[in-house]
Amino acid sequence: MRYLPLNHDDRRAMLNEIGVNSIDDLFIDVPKEAQLSGAIEGLNDHISEMAVERHFHGLANKNMVAGQGPFFLGAGAYRHHVPASVDHIIQRGEFLTAYTPYQPEIAQGTLQMLFEFQTQVARLFGTDVANASMYDGSTACWEAISMAGRITKRKNVILSGGLHPHYVSVASTMARFTKDILDIGMPDENGDADMARLLSSVNKETSAVVVQYPDIVGNVQDLRALSASCAENGALLIVVVTEPVALGAVTSPGEMGADIVVGEGQSIGVGLQFGGPYVGLFGCKSKYVRQMPGRLCGETVDAEGKRGFVLTLSTREQHIRRDKATSNICTNSGLCALAFSIHMTLLGEKGLRHLAMLNHQKAVSLADKLHALDGVEVLTKQFFNEFAVKLNKPSRAVLHELAEQGILGGVSMERLYPGKDALENIMLVAVTETSTDEDMTRFVSVLKELVA
């Protein structure tokens, strides 16, 4: 049966019912400059379905996909190999058909998966507990800031200059409505100046200090002194992890005293996918568990003494009184969390450590090659798989020329920090296990010509 759209009279009746004169009246809140007027350039008004398909295939073919050539983009989202078995397992009917695990009698598979996911995240972060996932890393970061405010009853939050600017943007947007006061820093080469600022700024009025680990330019820093300073002043230390594979090789934030650890889980089990859907990770010390947003799956026994799983803590307004809810975040990224959990299970602890070391070794190898070029300076001294490189000319132009030759060479800092002229020659380069020796050799060779 074909879909039959509404006719003119149907639409007029609906507009009359809601008291507007035209469809355009429904968009009066959209700024004029953001509204489209007239036809889309290069697209016909009336063509056949096959012609539309052909047109859009042509547009899509102008894109360069991640696996098509040397790929060194990162800055918060990373290209890792996801085994085919992950996609196969998540498509099993038990997982695809289970919606939301409100009824444990019919959702034991999903509940067990969430329980195992939480266990994996808690062990990865070095925290006592973890919840059943959140939307993504940036919103998890804000939820952590909001949670710290509930615990400390304070409004002053210090954001590291090494925190991803998109995460800062999300926090800034939310703080406009909660009246939290954000002290925002700027990144520096090795993070020393930023760490000194954080240590000197934290005081008895501070709710939380938020740092990224590794930070936006790749620095891996010891957070123990900052953790001690936060504890001394009654503030919470929130650590953001955008590349969880790094935790297979470096000390976990929880081991360094972090109170809350959040992150983006895309690197494990979830592809790049044009920016989403991703999966937010959230862990904390057990004493704060009742202030944790979202929901937490727990283990129990049924009336016959058999092991089972249930939603234990669900502190959202759908389950409890609105004024008692910790957050209005309403769900998790269940399928992405499942993919994360399956990939982690396939890797195991030994596999994750091997993967992490492989990433680091390849990154060190490329950094050494780049540093040997005239006109190129590697700025980051201690990194995992991503580092900042300073060129002798604006990096954005160089990256465009690399792309013209089929190489996605990195992310310009100018793109992340528009208008910051001091950063225009700097770019971020990320290396994962998917980068081959041939990819790196070609990247170095072409870049050498461009900066000569």
3-state DSSP of 85-134: HHHHHHCCHHHHHCCCCCCCCCCHHHHHHHHHHHHHHHHHHCCCEECCCE
* Residue reference for tokens 């970061």: 141
Helix (H, G, I), strand (E, B) or coil at 310: strand
* Residue 99 confidence (pLDDT): 61
- The better pLDDT of the pair 410, 4 is held by 410
Over residues 251-274, mean pLDDT: 95
pLDDT at 449 over 90: yes
User: How far, CA to CA in Å, does 310 sit from each of 245, 296, 297, 328?
Assistant: 29, 9, 6, 21
Q: In 10 A of CB 220, how many CB atoms?
A: 19
Q: In 10 A of CB 318, how many CB atoms?
A: 13
* Residue 108 confidence (pLDDT): 86
- Are 427 and 451 in contact by the 8 Å Cβ rule? The answer is no
Burial (CB count within 10 angstroms: exposed 0-12, middle 13-18, buried 19+), residue 139: buried
Each residue of 132-171: pLDDT tens digit?
A: 989 999 999 999 999 999 999 999 999 999 999 999 999 9
- Are 136 and 280 in contact by the 8 Å Cβ rule? The answer is yes
CA dihedral sign, ordered 159, 147, 330, 94: positive
What domains can you pick out in the chain, each with its CATH number? 84-344 (3.40.640.10), 354-451 (3.90.1150.10)
269: left (phi over 0), alpha (psi -120 to 50) or beta: left
How much is the mean pLDDT over the chain? 92
Each residue of 71-119: pLDDT tens digit?
A: 999 999 999 999 999 999 998 877 776 566 677 777 888 889 999 999 9
Enter the tokens of residue 115.
């329980």
| DSSP structural state of residue 385 | S
pLDDT at 1 over 60: no
* Residue 331 confidence (pLDDT): 62
* Residue 321 confidence (pLDDT): 66
User: How far, CA to CA in Å, does 295 sit from each of 196, 216, 262, 328, 358?
Assistant: 36, 29, 15, 11, 34
pTM above 0.75, yes or no: yes
Please, which residues have CB within 8 angstroms of residue 195's CB and are 6 or more apart in sequence? 221, 226
pLDDT at 257 over 60: yes
Over residues 211-231, mean pLDDT: 97
pLDDT at 409 over 70: yes
* Residue 106 confidence (pLDDT): 76
pLDDT at 124 over 60: yes
Share of the chain above pLDDT 70, in %: 95
Q: Which of 398, 413, 412 is nearest to 443 (CA)?
A: 398
User: How far, CA to CA in Å, does 443 sit from each of 64, 72, 79, 435?
Assistant: 16, 9, 17, 11
* Residue 115 confidence (pLDDT): 95
Q: Output the CA torsion 19→24→30→35 (10° steps).
A: 180
Each residue of 8-55: pLDDT tens digit?
A: 999 999 999 999 999 889 999 999 888 888 888 877 778 888 988 998
CA 413 from centroid of its chain's CA atoms:
18
Measure the CA–CA gap between 47 and 144, rounded to whole angstroms.
Answer: 50
Each residue of 316-354: pLDDT tens digit?
A: 666 666 667 777 776 668 889 999 999 999 999 999 999
Provide the CB-side half-sphere exposure for 346 (13 A, CA).
18
Helix (H, G, I), strand (E, B) or coil at 34: helix
* Residue 118 confidence (pLDDT): 96
* Residue 320 confidence (pLDDT): 65
Share of the chain above pLDDT 90, in %: 74
Burial (CB count within 10 angstroms: exposed 0-12, middle 13-18, buried 19+), residue 37: exposed
